[in-house]
Amino acid sequence: MFDNQQINSIKGLETPFYYYDMALLEKTLDKAKNAADKHGFHVHYALKANFNKRILSLIQSKGFGADCVSGNEVSEAIATGFPASTITFAGVGKTDKEITTALEYQIFAFNVESIQEMEVIDELAGRLGHTARVSLRINPNVDAQTHHYITTGLDENKFGVPTSELEKAATAIRELKNIELVGLHFHIGSQITDLNVFKSLCVKVNEWKNWFEERGTVIKVLNVGGGLGVDYHNPDVNSIPDFEAYFDVFDRFLERTPRQEVHFELGRSLVAQCGNLVSRVLYTKSGVKKHFLILDAGMTELMRPALYQAYHKIERVSDENEEGVKLNYDVVGPICESSDSFGKEVSLPISKRGDLIAIRTAGAYGEVMASRYNLREEIRHVYSDSI
């Protein structure tokens, strides 16, 4: 992960901090963009994954659009230079203020998740004298086969319009005067590593696209969301997802006319591997059956393990030969919660106070979910091209 020069550069830095490999990020973005462009696909970057300013700027410079889930994310995308014509706004709970902000920017489309939301957008658009472009988010009842907290496409999830209400939704679209339907939107979850799941999604998208078109509704955009996963266990071996295979699934199985656009909303797959949380061992501690490494980073800096029991590879950062004796450690943080743990029975070289520890694949849903619980300091970040 780090060469000896980089290790020497970060040894004296105050921890904890997020370390971003900007060269890896650029390589990942280029591969994703080239793979999408091959099929004429449009990719919107999901800001919720990481809205670090330097990362956003690089993504914008590569020609990606923006996928936002709050009014502030819309404003940040605009401030970063994403054209309004490439910004989508999703989320089940958009406030009137957020909707108005997006309408004033004249963004590409709202991904609407209920008939009531569509009625509210219509009313607010009418007050401004605007026409709101919308994509109707349909809940396709496709199991993403991932953690239940990040599965979004099942009948019992809060997201999207259930298929039982589509007839009513289609009627509302025809009757509302300040709404223009531009597309259909689907998103079934995150960290999907089985590409067969996306084949199942394509079947559902084809079904509902045909349903609308048979009723005389023109569908310009098929937005199939995101969800492509990354390899948390082997970040060096599989540092860049197989974007070619991912987009090829949709090219092969998604039915579309030459004039229909296909849009994606990728987040984790673009930024996860470029980010690592670097921490320092505060104390070592041994119980009757356990050995602990107590770090200066905790769940306040990386929430995923506590929230999802998510796995992150944990490594000691060292320029020394790591072939020696290893111990199994519970790697924990300083927060006053028993859930403040990064990993149990993690095999590491025998470690001591002051050693640097890297928690890998933390570029997505890491820095953005950091908090100041326990009145912690704000998380710092370091870039590979700045040390």
Q: Given this model, what pLDDT does residue 156 score? A: 56
Contact (CB, 8 A) for 271 and 51 = no
Q: Which CATH class is domain 4-17+273-386?
A: mainly beta
* Rounded Cα gap, residues 343 and 356, in angstroms: 16
Which CATH number applies to 22-271?
3.20.20.10
Nearest to 10 by CA among 355, 362, 366: 355
For residue 37, the one-letter residue type is D
Q: How far is CA 200 from the centre of its chain?
A: 21
Q: What residues pair up with 210 in beta bridges, in sequence order?
A: none
- Give me 244's structure tokens: 């070619």
- The residue whose two tokens read 């996963």 is 229
Residue 204 in this model has a pLDDT that exceeds 90 = yes
Q: What is the structure's pLDDT at 9? A: 86
Q: Identify each DSSP E strand in the chain by its residue range.
A: 17-20, 42-46, 65-68, 87-89, 109-112, 132-139, 161-162, 179-185, 221-223, 261-266, 275-286, 291-295, 314-317, 326-332, 341-349, 356-359, 380-383
**Short-list 106, 89, 56, 88, CA closest to 271:** 56
pLDDT band for 6, please (50, 70, 90 cuts).
Answer: confident
pLDDT at 8: 87
* pLDDT class of 387 with cuts at 50, 70, 90: confident
pLDDT digits (tens, 9 = 90+) for 65-80: 999 999 999 999 999 9
Q: Which residues contact 146 (CB under 8 A, 6 or more apart)?
A: 189, 190, 191, 192, 229
In this predicted model, what pLDDT tens digit does every residue of 121-152 receive, in sequence order? Answer: 999 999 999 999 999 999 886 755 554 444 44
Q: State the pLDDT at residue 108.
A: 98
How confident is the model over 242-301, as pLDDT tens digits?
A: 999 999 999 999 999 999 999 999 999 999 999 999 999 999 999 888 999 999 999 999
Q: What is the C-alpha separation between 384 and 166, in angstroms, rounded?
A: 49
State pLDDT tens for residues 312-336.
Answer: 999 999 867 666 789 999 999 999 9
Ranges for all domains in the chain classified under CATH 2.40.37.10: 4-17+273-386
Cα separation, 284 vs 169, in Å, equals 59
DSSP string, 24-59: HHHHHHHHHHHHHHTTT-EEEEEGGG---HHHHHHH
pTM: 0.94
For residues 286 and 292, the answer to whether their CB atoms sit within 8 Å is yes
Q: CA dist 165 to 122, 138, 214, 334, 345, Å? A: 18, 10, 17, 48, 48
Reading the block at residue 239, the tokens are 């540092």
The amino acid that residue 202 corresponds to is C
Mean of the per-residue pLDDT values of the chain: 93
Q: How far is residue 274's CA from residue 28's CA, in Å, rounded to a whole number?
A: 9
Range(s) for CATH 3.20.20.10 in the chain? Answer: 22-271
CA distance 250 to 252: 5
Q: What is the pLDDT of residue 323?
A: 66
Give pLDDT, residue 321: 63
